[in-house]
Amino acid sequence: MFRACVEAVPSFVINGPEVERAFRRACSSFLSFVSRAVSTGEITHGAVLPPEAEHLTRRLPAAGIKLVDLVLTYDVAGNELLDAFGKELRAGSWRPEGCDRADMLSVVMGRLFRFRQAALSQAMAVYRQEQELLRRCEIPDIRETVRQALTGELGEAEAERRLGYRMDTRHVGFVVWGSGAPEAALRQVAARLCSQLRAGADLTVPSDGHALHGWLSLPDNAPGVDVLRARLSVPEGIRISLGMPHHGGNGFRITHREALETQSLADRAMPQPTRPGAPAEACSIVSFRDVVALVFASRDVELASHFVRCQLGSLVEPRHSVLRETLRVWFEELGSPTRAARRLNVHVNTLVKRLNRAAEIVDRPLHAGDFAFRFAFELSRIHHGNGVSEPHERGR
């Protein structure tokens, strides 16, 4: 496979021994990934590029190797693997169980094609990100340029020219951050985010405090947040906040503000679990939609805290974390005990008992359509996150 790729794309061996060695390691690193994908048919988008291949891909733009060469190597490597399997199937002593050779070859061909497409898509996203970073190194101070675009000091045409990023498009702002996370790790997550959301372009700016601010130009058929959470694996200790999609220069500013607010509230009010198996009040990917109630209530935390206590009573205390997690899922499932129990992996009777216990604590029947109670429940996370003291009087 290495020899076939080098014959088709000589640039991998004429850019110095380091690139050649990295390319050879990348070829070998794919074999276990290919074997798993072909044997099981399970192809996880965004997790099909071995670390060795991703490392090589990030070096290609600086080495002068073009994107078309990268695409060609994936075509050549895929053909070599398929030819090798076909020869073994025809000449070898192995016989597939339960189907003839033609059927087996057809199955393998389909799985290998899907794997190649997923890996190539991820590699192209990484390549384009590195290519854009090289181009932006020529910008004297990209953070200052972005600041001027956000404050309106630059017109949209001038901002586009300086940043190489269209303003007349559908943007979603994001922040990738993690305490102590190196910038390279944050950029890798941003590249995978770009690939999963099928972004047409991206703009990223490093910020202080181990964070990366960015924007993606989204197509209309971009996956939603729920799909993104299912497909995108985020390394431990790193989180992503997302603004809502907005159009044009004003949308560029609004979605950025939403992403920043979401990051701030996620850190303060939606901590990640501290022990394995603990119920998570927030996952690694948090959308502005998840925290919009907290955004407005955080403007007067004292009143919000009193409102929470009046509605929820002692239910806000740490010892009732399981009941709160049960309520959260029950609300999301629009009051369906069956669907909520399925998501929590408990029996329906167990879930109903938990709801009854929560009703006893707040001393009133629970209804999924109770707006005041639901709103107070959403606000309870910021109540804990800000450490507001408990009011002396309680009501309902």
The answer to whether residues 26 and 52 touch, using CB atoms and an 8 Å cutoff, is yes
pTM: 0.54
pLDDT in tens, the chain (396 residues): 888 888 888 888 777 777 788 888 888 888 888 888 888 888 776 567 888 888 888 888 877 788 888 888 888 888 888 888 878 777 765 555 656 777 777 888 888 888 888 888 888 888 887 877 766 655 557 888 898 999 988 888 888 888 888 899 999 999 999 888 888 788 888 888 888 888 887 888 888 768 899 999 998 888 888 888 888 888 888 999 999 999 999 999 999 999 998 998 888 766 664 444 433 334 689 988 878 777 777 666 677 777 888 888 889 888 998 999 999 899 988 899 999 999 999 999 999 999 999 999 998 899 888 888 888 888 876 554 433 333 333 333
Handedness of CA 286, 288, 289, 294 (dihedral sign): positive
Question: For residues 178 and 236, what is the distance between their CA atoms, to the nearest angstrom?
Answer: 9
The pLDDT of residue 305 is 77
Beta strands 170-177; 246-247: pairing state? antiparallel
Q: Which position has the token pair 């050549």?
A: 76
Tokens of 332: 């999301």
The answer to whether residues 262 and 288 touch, using CB atoms and an 8 Å cutoff, is yes
The answer to whether residues 196 and 231 touch, using CB atoms and an 8 Å cutoff, is yes
Terminal Cα-to-Cα distance of the chain (whole angstroms): 71
Q: Which position has the token pair 């991998």?
A: 12
The answer to whether residues 152 and 169 touch, using CB atoms and an 8 Å cutoff, is no
> What is the crossing angle of helices 101-136 and 51-63, to 10°?
50
Cα-flanking dihedrals φ and ψ of residue 270, to 5°? Answer: -130, 65
Beta bridge partners of 204: 214
The pLDDT of residue 385 is 40
CA angle 119, 173, 198 (to 5 degrees): 25
> What is the crossing angle of helices 248-269 and 371-385, to 10°?
70
Beta strands 239-242; 201-207: pairing state? unpaired
Question: For residues 262 and 162, what is the distance between their CA atoms, to the nearest angstrom?
Answer: 28
| Coil, helix or strand at residue 187 | helix
**Tell me, what DSSP letter sits at residue 77?**
H
What dihedral angle (degrees, nearest 10) is formed by the CA atoms of 363, 369, 372, 376? Answer: 80
CB burial of 31-60 (b: ≥16 within 10 Å; e: otherwise) equals eebbeebbeeeebebbebbbebbbbbbbbb
Residue type at 61 in one-letter notation: P
The answer to whether residues 352 and 327 touch, using CB atoms and an 8 Å cutoff, is no
Torsion-angle region of 86 (φ positive above 0: left; ψ -120 to 50: alpha; else: beta) = alpha
What dihedral angle (degrees, nearest 10) is formed by the CA atoms of 247, 251, 255, 260? Answer: 160
Instruction: For residue 203, give the H/E element and its range.
Output: strand 201-207
Beta bridge partners of 176: 212, 240
